[in-house]
Amino acid sequence: MDDNSPPAATTTGFQPVLDLIDQSMDASLQRLFAFLRIPSISTDPAYATQCHAAANWLISDLMSMGFNTELVETKGHPIVTAHLESANPDARTLLFYGHYDVQPVDPLDLWTADPFDPRLNTLENGKKVICARGAADDKGQLMTFVEACRAMLQVQGGLPAHIRICIEGEEESGSGNLPLFIKEHAAALQADIALVCDTGMWDGDTPAVTTSLRGLLYEEIIIRCADRDLHSGLYGGAARNPIHVLSAIIASLHDADGRIMVPDFYAGVSEPSASVLDGWRKLDLNETNFLGPIGLRRSAGETGRMLIEQVQSRPTCDVNGIVGGYTGVGAKTVIPAQASAKISFRLVGEQDPDPIRENFRAFVQSQVPDDCSVEFVSHGGSKPFHVPTDRPELERAVAALKDEWRVTPAVIGSGGSIPVVGEFKRALGLDSLLIGFGLDDDRIHSPNEKYDLKSFHKGIRSWARVLAALG
Amino acid sequence: MDDNSPPAATTTGFQPVLDLIDQSMDASLQRLFAFLRIPSISTDPAYATQCHAAANWLISDLMSMGFNTELVETKGHPIVTAHLESANPDARTLLFYGHYDVQPVDPLDLWTADPFDPRLNTLENGKKVICARGAADDKGQLMTFVEACRAMLQVQGGLPAHIRICIEGEEESGSGNLPLFIKEHAAALQADIALVCDTGMWDGDTPAVTTSLRGLLYEEIIIRCADRDLHSGLYGGAARNPIHVLSAIIASLHDADGRIMVPDFYAGVSEPSASVLDGWRKLDLNETNFLGPIGLRRSAGETGRMLIEQVQSRPTCDVNGIVGGYTGVGAKTVIPAQASAKISFRLVGEQDPDPIRENFRAFVQSQVPDDCSVEFVSHGGSKPFHVPTDRPELERAVAALKDEWRVTPAVIGSGGSIPVVGEFKRALGLDSLLIGFGLDDDRIHSPNEKYDLKSFHKGIRSWARVLAALG
Residue A23: count of CB within 10 angstroms of its CB: 11
Of all residues in chain B, the percent with pLDDT exceeding 90 is 76
Three-class SS of residue B293? Answer: helix
DSSP annotation string for B299-320:
--S-TTS-HHIIIIIS-EEEEE
Domains of chain B, start order: 9-213+384-470 (3.40.630.10), 215-269+318-382 (3.30.70.360), 277-314 (no CATH)
User: Could you give the CA distance from residue A21 to residue A107 in angstroms, rounded to a whole number?
Assistant: 36
| Residue A403 C-alpha, separation from nearest chain B C-alpha, in angstroms | 27
User: Could you give the CA distance from residue B309 to residue B425 in angstroms, rounded to a whole number?
Assistant: 25
Mean pLDDT over A147-168 rounds to: 97
Mean pLDDT over A72-87 rounds to: 96
Query: Is A36 or B426 the better-scoring residue by pLDDT?
Result: A36
A43 CB neighbours in chain B (<8 A) are 328-332
Q: A228–B446: do the CB atoms touch at under 8 Å?
A: yes
Q: Single out the residue of A101, A168, A128, A170 nearest to residue A29, CA to CA.
A: A128
Q: Single out the residue of A17, A29, A174, A18 nearest to residue A101, CA to CA.
A: A174
Q: A237–B311: do the CB atoms touch at under 8 Å?
A: yes
Q: Which residue of B has its CA nearest to A443?
A: B230
Q: Which residue of B has its CA nearest to A338?
A: B321
Q: Is-contact B3 B435, C-beta < 8 A?
A: no
Q: B247–A244: do the CB atoms touch at under 8 Å?
A: no
Out of A310, A322, A335, whose CB is closest to B238? Answer: A310
Q: How confident is the model at residue B78 (pLDDT cuts 50, 70, 90)?
A: very high
In this prediction, residue A7 carries a pLDDT of 45
Out of B42, B300, B445, whose CB is closest to A239? Answer: B300
Of all residues in chain A, the percent with pLDDT exceeding 90 is 76
Out of A220, A229, A440, whose CB is closest to B446? Answer: A229
| Range in A104-113, A328-337, A407-416, B216-225 the model is least confident about | A407-416
State whether residue B229 sits within 8 Å of chain A by CB: yes
Rounded to the nearest 10 degrees, what angle do helices B242-251 and A242-251 cross at?
Answer: 120
Q: B233–A346: do the CB atoms touch at under 8 Å?
A: yes
| Residue B13 C-alpha, separation from nearest chain A C-alpha, in angstroms | 39
Handedness of CA B45, B50, B55, B58 (dihedral sign): negative
Decide if pLDDT at B6 tops 60: no
User: Could you give the CA distance from residue A72 to residue A80 in angstroms, rounded to a whole number?
Assistant: 6
User: Could you give the CA distance from residue B116 to residue B50 in angstroms, rounded to a whole number?
Assistant: 12
Residue from B42, B213, B266, B332 whose CB has the most chain A CBs within 10 Å, to mutate: B332
Decide if pLDDT at B5 tops 60: no
Out of B218, B318, B325, whose CB is closest to A320? Answer: B325
Contact residues, B window 423-442, toward A, CB-based 8 Å cutoff: 440
At B452-471, the pLDDT tens digits run 999 999 999 999 999 999 98
Q: A298–B370: do the CB atoms touch at under 8 Å?
A: yes
User: Could you give the CA distance from residue A323 to residue A246 in angstroms, rounded to a whole number?
Assistant: 10
A446 CB neighbours in chain B (<8 A) are 228-231, 334
| Range in A98-102, A209-213, B329-333 the model is least confident about | B329-333
Q: Is-contact A232 A467, C-beta < 8 A?
A: no
Contact residues, B window 232-261, toward A, CB-based 8 Å cutoff: 232-241, 243-244, 246-248, 250-254
Decide if pLDDT at B7 tops 50: no
B228 CB neighbours in chain A (<8 A) are 294-295, 443, 446-448
A230 CB neighbours in chain B (<8 A) are 294, 445-446
State whether residue A217 sits within 8 Å of chain B by CB: no
> Dihedral, CA atoms, B68, B73, B77, B79, nearest 10 degrees?
-30
Decide if pLDDT at B12 tops 80: no
Contact residues, B window 102-141, toward A, CB-based 8 Å cutoff: 103-104, 106-107, 110
- Calculate the average pLDDT of chain A: 92
In this prediction, residue B152 carries a pLDDT of 97
User: Could you give the CA distance from residue A78 to residue A65 in angstroms, rounded to a whole number?
Assistant: 21
Q: Single out the residue of A235, A379, A250, A378 nearest to residue A324, CA to CA.
A: A250
Q: Which residue of B has its CA nearest to A253?
A: B244
Q: How confident is the model at residue A252 (pLDDT cuts 50, 70, 90)?
A: very high
In this prediction, residue B1 carries a pLDDT of 34
In the DSSP assignment, the letter for residue A89 is T
Alpha helices in B91-138 (DSSP H): none
Contact residues, A window 338-357, toward B, CB-based 8 Å cutoff: 339, 341-342, 344, 346
Out of A228, A236, A415, whose CB is closest to B318? Answer: A236
At B80-139, the pLDDT tens digits run 999 999 999 999 999 999 999 999 998 888 899 999 999 999 998 899 999 999 999 999
Sheet holding B215-224, edge to edge: A373-382, A215-224, A338-347, A316-325, B316-325, B338-347, B215-224, B373-382
Mean pLDDT over A52-74 rounds to: 97
Out of A103, A232, A294, whose CB is closest to B332? Answer: A103
At A377-424, the pLDDT tens digits run 998 888 888 877 788 999 999 999 999 999 988 887 776 677 788 889
In this prediction, residue B286 carries a pLDDT of 94
User: Could you give the CA distance from residue A21 to residue A29 in angstroms, rounded to a whole number?
Assistant: 11
Q: A321–B325: do the CB atoms touch at under 8 Å?
A: yes
| Residue A89 C-alpha, separation from nearest chain B C-alpha, in angstroms | 40
Out of B44, B227, B369, whose CB is closest to A294? Answer: B227
Residue from A42, A133, A231, A450 whose CB has the most chain B CBs within 10 Å, to mutate: A231
Q: B333–A218: do the CB atoms touch at under 8 Å?
A: yes
State whether residue A310 sits within 8 Å of chain B by CB: yes
Type of residue numbered A113: A
In this prediction, residue B13 carries a pLDDT of 66
User: Could you give the CA distance from residue B26 to residue B457 in angstroms, rounded to a whole number?
Assistant: 10
pTM over 0.95: no
Q: B320–A331: do the CB atoms touch at under 8 Å?
A: yes
Q: Is-contact B314 B306, C-beta < 8 A?
A: no
Residues paired with B96 in a beta bridge: B165, B195
Residue from B202, B234, B261 whose CB has the most chain A CBs within 10 Å, to mutate: B234
B307 CB neighbours in chain A (<8 A) are 238
Out of A214, A319, A327, whose CB is closest to B323? Answer: A327
Q: Which residue of B has its CA nearest to A368?
A: B300
Q: Is the ipTM of this complex over 0.85?
A: no
Backbone angles phi, psi at A221, to 5 degrees: -120, 135
Q: How confident is the model at residue A26 (pLDDT cuts 50, 70, 90)?
A: very high
Residue from A131, A229, A305 whose CB has the most chain B CBs within 10 Å, to mutate: A229
Backbone angles phi, psi at A63, to 5 degrees: -60, -40
Residue from A218, A228, A318, A444 whose CB has the most chain B CBs within 10 Å, to mutate: A318
B105 CB neighbours in chain A (<8 A) are none
Q: How confident is the model at residue B416 (pLDDT cuts 50, 70, 90)?
A: low
Out of A232, A234, A298, whose CB is closest to B320? Answer: A232
Angle at the Cα of A198 from the Cα atoms of B337 and A343, rounded to 5 degrees: 40
A106 CB neighbours in chain B (<8 A) are 326, 328
State whether residue B269 sits within 8 Å of chain A by CB: no
B241 CB neighbours in chain A (<8 A) are 300, 318-319
Q: Which residue of A has its CA nearest to B342?
A: A331
Q: B328–A241: do the CB atoms touch at under 8 Å?
A: no
Contact residues, A window 137-196, toward B, CB-based 8 Å cutoff: 172-174
